[in-house]
Amino acid sequence: MDTLEALKEEYIKKYSDKKLVFGEGKTDGGIMLIGEAPGGEEEKFGRPFVGKAGKNLDEFLELAGLDRSSLYISNVVKFRPVSISEKTGRFINRTPSKEEIEDFVPLLMEEIKTYKPRLIVTLGNVPLKAVTGNNRLSIGQCHGKIIEKDNIKIYPLYHPASVIYNRSLKAVYAQDVKEIKKYI
């Protein structure tokens, strides 16, 4: 078993009370897309970016002129972080905590080391900080600008779900996405 598979097994054991959603897709050194953490649909199907988030992803792919099958897709945190809604008493998604993110960074680093992507596209603040290892960076300052780390290009984008209700941000996001072509 390779190191990545062995590491996944360790996480499965450690998080035996949770359903983990691992990365999937093309592993030939192309584009790696990294989100924050799975949501409800992702947890249900065991795959990243399906359901509502998958729709966002499809829009993203169309704008970028890319195909889902040409990407490797993963998240920083591999389980669905939830809290309980005061209104409905149901589980709702929440941003992963600092500790949860830190705990999953070694797995993300191993994915990157194993698959050696040419370009990493981060969606939102969580993967931007996790991949660069720099907690002071923010997506507002970094979006659409290449960051180089260990000979890998990182292209930070807003998280598509966060731009839905903000029209001006949506235009910026769309422009950033279109520019991906320059770097692949």
Residue 75 binds to ligand URA (criterion: CB under 6 A) = yes
Minimum distance of ligand URA from residue 123's CB (angstroms): 6
Residue 39 binds to ligand URA (criterion: CB under 6 A) = yes
Indicate the DSSP class of residue 143: T
Residue 36 binds to ligand URA (criterion: CB under 6 A) = yes
If the CB atoms of residues 25 and 39 are measured against ligand URA, the closer one turns out to be: 39
Task: Pull the structure tokens for residue 179.
Answer: 């520019």
Q: Which residue is nearest to ligand URA (CB)?
A: 35
Do residues 52 and 41 lie in contact, with contact meaning Cβ atoms separated by under 8 Å? yes
If the CB atoms of residues 91 and 150 are measured against ligand URA, the closer one turns out to be: 91
Spatial separation of the C-alpha atoms in residues 118 and 29, rounded to whole Å: 6
Residue 38 binds to ligand URA (criterion: CB under 6 A) = yes
- Three-class SS state of 151: coil
Task: Pull the structure tokens for residue 116.
Answer: 């050696």
Considering only 33, 53, 107, 139, the residue that binds ligand URA (CB under 6 A) is 53
Q: How far is CA 45 from CA 100, 105, 119, 129, in A?
A: 22, 23, 27, 27
Question: At CA 62, angle to CA 59 and CA 67, rounded to 5?
Answer: 110
Give the interface size with ligand URA as a residue count (CB under 6 A): 11
If the CB atoms of residues 35 and 117 are measured against ligand URA, the closer one turns out to be: 35
Considering only 31, 33, 49, 158, the residue that binds ligand URA (CB under 6 A) is 49
Length of the chain in terms of residues written: 184
Other Cβ atoms within 10 Å of 14 Cβ, number: 11
From residue 118 to residue 137, what is the string marking binding to ligand URA with x (rule CB under 6 A)? -----x--------------
Residue 111 binds to ligand URA (criterion: CB under 6 A) = no
Spatial separation of the C-alpha atoms in residues 165 and 152, rounded to whole Å: 32
**Interacting positions 142-161 with ligand URA (CB under 6 A):** none
Considering only 20, 31, 33, 35, the residue that binds ligand URA (CB under 6 A) is 35
